[in-house]
Structures are given as structure tokens and as C-alpha cells.
Structure 1
Amino acid sequence: MMVKPKNSPICPITAALDVLGGKWKVFILSYLAEHGTLRFGELKRLIPKVTQKMLAQQLKELEEAGLVNRRVYAQVPPKVEYRLTAHGQTLCPVLRSLREWGYLHREKLGAEEVTCPEVSAEKLIAVE
């Protein structure tokens, strides 16, 4: 269960950005929405530009925010899986809308069609 911080933001936009702020969090959430459950190494392969340290930090922050569930299996070598919590799944429509807005914005700027190196454009946010 998530603990409410003493200085929790009053503004809903600030509350959202406090949780989603960070270069890689939206990509992590998008891949977990697309694939369901992923191991650390799988996330690292899907987001090749993120360092291991940054990926671990971002996952920890998402877990603390109650958006990602981390499951550790008692085996050697250790196996750790990540998946969206029910609360994390409520972000799927938001992430889908963000992607669609990105398409519109790029179109307005006259940007040519390119694939995103961090996230598959076709499969992003496939979860309804």
C-alpha cells in the first residue's frame, strides 16, 4: 500500500508530474502496458539508451508510487519481474493520448515519419 507523503501536491498536474517525471518512466510504463510482465534485462533491451542504474532507480520510484509491482522469485540466479499494478493500468489511456498528441504535434511541425528508437510506435499502449 502506498503511503501518502507529508508534502503531497495539491495541484493534480503537479501530482501527475511528480510520479511520471523522469526521462524513462513513460517508456517503462508503456512497455509494461504493452507486454504485461517484463524482467529487468528485457526492459533494458527494449530501452537501450537507459543505463542500468537509471532503470533500477526509475523502477524503484514507480514501485514506490504504486504504479509498478516488483516480484522476486527465490531462486539462483535471482529472477525479478515487473508489471503494472491496477493503479498503474489506469495510466494506459493517458499514455495512449500522449502518443496520439505526439503524432499531431510532429505533423504540425512537418516532421517526417520515423520510428521511435525507445518504443515501438505500432504496439505502444496496446492494453485497453
Structure 2
Amino acid sequence: MAHQTVGHGPLADCPQSELVPPGPEPRCPVDITLAALAGRWTPLVLREFLLRGEATYSELSAALPTLSDKVLSERLAQLTRAGIIDRHREAGWPPRVRYVLTGEGRELAPVLRSMWDWGAARRDG
């Protein structure tokens, strides 16, 4: 069975070999992006990094007050594993950890901007 986008719309020029159903290792570029942004809060955590460039756990927690500590910790670990943010431990006492957006993370800015624009058009209209 062919992927629904084959031959129609803006993805019509994508190679058939890349338009495969999700599997253990995503091959479709859309699936790869979704895997990096997986989880309800992940795009909002990423939004904070795009606004700030870097942040501490406390800054992120304050910016997203309805996000539980457990989920924030999970999302930071996920984004670190995906290479979207880096974790830097600063010397001193008490120890501080700063999370910094990577180059790959900055490349997601247009994706989040498109999500913002799409949502804003529906919120205001």
C-alpha cells in the first residue's frame, strides 16, 4: 500500500523509498522529525530554547509551570539524546547544569515557527 502523500500535494516529489510506514528506525524524513519532537511537551520545551538559546532547569520549570518535574526531566534527556540540546555542568557549589541548544536544535526553528504560525491563524481566526 502506498503512502497517502505519494503523487499528491507538496510531498509528491519525495522518493518512494523515503515514504515508508514508521518502524523501529524511522526512514521517512517526517517520521525522523516527529521522533525528535515526540511527546506532548517536547515542542514547548524546544520553544523555550529557541527563545533563550540556553536555560537552566529552574528557568525552564518557571517558564512551563504546568509541566511536571518528571516530564521536564524526561524531555530534557530525550532532547539531549537526539542531539538537539547539550547538557553542561558548571563548576562550583551548588552544582549548576545549563542546557544549550545545538546547531541541529537551531535548525528546528523554521519547524517551530511554522507550527506557531499555523496555530496562531486558527487561534485568532
Instruction: Determine if the TM-score, normalized by the shorter chain, exceeds 0.5.
Output: yes
Q: Which moved more, 1:39-48 or 1:26-35?
A: 26-35
How many residues align structurally? 103
Work out the CA distance in 2 between the residues paired with 1:29 and 1:59. Answer: 9
Q: Flag structure 1 segments of 5+ consecutive residues without an equivalent.
A: 1-6, 109-128
CA RMSD of aligned residues (A): 1.5
Name the aligned partner's letter for residue 25 of structure 2: S
Aligned to 1:89: 106
User: What amino acid is aligned across from residue 40 of structure 2 in structure 1?
Assistant: K
2:53 to 11, 15, 36: 36
- Structure 1 position 8 matched with structure 2 position 25: yes
Query: Could you say which residue in structure 1 is the equivalent of 2:37?
Result: 20
Q: Identify which of structures 1 and 2 has the higher relative contact order when contacts are C-alpha pairs closer than 8 Å and 6+ apart.
A: 1
Residue number in structure 1 paired with 2:76: 59
**Structure 1 residue 104 displacement after superposition:** 1.7
Q: Distance in 2 between matches of 1:42 and 1:107?
A: 29
Structure 2 residue aligned with 1:77, among 94, 106, 120? 94
Deviation by residue 1:31-58 (Cα, 9 ceiling, x = unmatched): 1111111100000000001111110110
Structure 1 stretches of 4+ moved >6 Å: none
TM-score by length of 1: 0.75
Gaps of 5+ in 2: 1-23
C-alpha distance in 2 between matches for 1:77 and 1:104: 44
